[in-house]
Amino acid sequence: MSRVRAASRLLPSAFPCDGQSAALRPVVRPTDYAHAVPPRPARERPRRRLVALVLLLCAIAAGLGIHYAAPAGTLSDMSGDILYAVAAYLAVVILAPRLPPLVVGTIAAGWCVLIELFQLTGIPLQLGTAFPPSMLVLGTVFDARDIALYLATAALLTAVDAVSSPRFAASSR
């Protein structure tokens, strides 16, 4: 006897459509398949979103501090690129906390690379001269090193997020 038939009750159906007697049609309850999806802690999503929001605010504060206080140079430029990738990753987590880390990392890296490639058009530079705060989001000039930093940062954040997620801890037991 099949598991569905054994787990279901035979109840009459209001609309028999396959010629089977309404009295013999199995009724499948949602609880019959509850074992297929592992339960997720009820507080996981709000807590993940809250932690990401706090970390995003810290990343923005650090990025603004580096932008305005640190002397211009390679180190401050690289730090800003890393913090930009961190902010992109955390923004995706805030917007979609249920996404797995690999998807979040891919979206964040894709965003960063697209913004960097957009700088090849010269439009961000023109926008930056007209409205200087836009430089903080769009940048100004293309630099291939930035793409490498974005990809490395997104990969590192993806690995840390995957290892620290409750789903990883549950699957490694």
Enumerate the H helices of 34-122 as residue ranges: 44-69, 74-95, 101-118
Question: Would you say 122 and 159 are in contact if contact means Cβ atoms under 8 Å apart?
Answer: no
Which residues of the chain are under the pLDDT cut of 70? 1-45, 167-173
Helix (H) or strand (E) holding 90: helix 74-95
* 150 residue type, one letter: Y
**pTM over 0.75, yes/no:** no
What pLDDT shows up at residue 115?
96
Signed CA dihedral, 140, 142, 143, 146: sign only = positive
Helix (H) or strand (E) holding 77: helix 74-95
* Best CA proximity match to 68, nearest among 136, 1, 152: 136
Separation of alpha carbons 68 and 79, rounded Å: 13
- Residues paired with residue 108 on neighbouring β-strands, in sequence order: none
Residues 6 or more apart whose CB falls under 8 angstroms from that of 48 comprise 93, 97
Other beta carbons less than 10 A from residue 59's beta carbon: 20
What pLDDT shows up at residue 19?
59
Q: Give me 115's structure tokens.
A: 């913004």
Model pLDDT for residues 31-71, shown as the tens digit of each residue: 666 565 555 555 556 789 999 999 999 999 999 999 899 88
